[in-house]
Amino acid sequence: MKNLKTLLALLAVNVAFAGTPVETLIPVEHIYVPKGFDSNDNSEVILSGHLPNLCHKAPKTTVTQEGNKVLIEVTALKYHPTNPFCAEVLVPFVEPVSLGVLDKGVYDIVVNGKSIFRKESSIFITESTSPAIDDNVYANVDHVETDPESRTVKLAGYNPSDCLEFQEVKVASNDKDTYAILPIMKKVSDFCPMKMTPFKYEVEVPSELKKEAVLLHVRAMDGKSVNTLFYQDSFEE
């Protein structure tokens, strides 16, 4: 009986251990740096990668700044491999990272700098030409619909009032791997009642960037962004 109680106690400890996650660094495969941030914007970079398996959950980023260097640490909650839900399945992630409002200049981006997962890039911040947080009002985009057989994507969401109408979409390439998509709205009435108005705006993805996958970085009304990887391999000539 004593041995049975000891065995049950050990099993209980093991189950508790398997169910308690620890925070661990995770690898990042790519750093995307959209073009067009100025010294009045909440600037962002976007990280992509794969969680190694289902033992890893909830990617999280921590940002610190040291002069013109921005340090980003990327972690996830990791459960013990004995956890019954730890299937060996790669889980892709696309994680936007807010860098806050930065002065004009070039900043070095270092991800997981004190580990074997170190990645580096840089971001150029231009000087603001306006005191406004954004030079334009953007549509309240909450997701991007893609079609693997078309270069046309749909920006979808709900605008908070029908006093705002779609004006145009501007696209800015970083000449590397990212298109910044700016769905610009215009105010058509001074009376702006709260009226959630659904929309879908079609955008043709340019073909100038010759990458298998490019990032669509869509600026949104809340000052943040919606980010989607667009795979171009099916459109190669």
Chunked into runs of 10 residues, the chain (237 residues) has average pLDDT values of 45 49 90 93 93 82 95 89 72 93 96 93 90 78 93 95 93 96 93 91 94 94 91 68
Asked if residue 193 belongs to a domain, the reply is yes
Asked if residue 108 belongs to a domain, the reply is yes
Which residues constitute the domain of residue 68? Answer: 22-125
Asked if residue 7 belongs to a domain, the reply is no
Name the 3-class secondary structure at 114.
Answer: coil
Are 119 and 145 contained in the same domain?
Answer: no
Q: How many distinct structural domains can be found in the chain?
A: 2
Last residue of one domain, picked from the residues 94, 125, 156: 125
| Alpha carbon distance 112, 95 (integer Å) | 14
CB of 59 within 8 A of CB of 74? Answer: yes
Asked if residue 12 belongs to a domain, the reply is no
Are 121 and 141 contained in the same domain?
Answer: no
Are 28 and 117 contained in the same domain?
Answer: yes
| Alpha carbon distance 206, 173 (integer Å) | 9
Question: What pLDDT is attached to residue 16?
Answer: 43
Question: What pLDDT is attached to residue 57?
Answer: 82
| Alpha carbon distance 139, 136 (integer Å) | 10
Are 120 and 141 contained in the same domain?
Answer: no
| Alpha carbon distance 66, 28 (integer Å) | 21
Asked if residue 15 belongs to a domain, the reply is no
Q: Name residues whose C-beta falls within 8 Å of residue 12's C-beta, 6 or more positions apart in sequence.
A: none
Question: What pLDDT is attached to residue 233?
Answer: 73
The pTM of this model reads: 0.85
Q: Which residues of 174-194 are buried (b: 16+ CB within 10 A; e: fewer)?
A: beebbbbbbbbbeeeeeeeee
| Alpha carbon distance 156, 171 (integer Å) | 17
Last residue of one domain, picked from the residues 63, 91, 125: 125
Question: What pLDDT is attached to residue 104?
Answer: 95
Question: What pLDDT is attached to residue 9?
Answer: 39
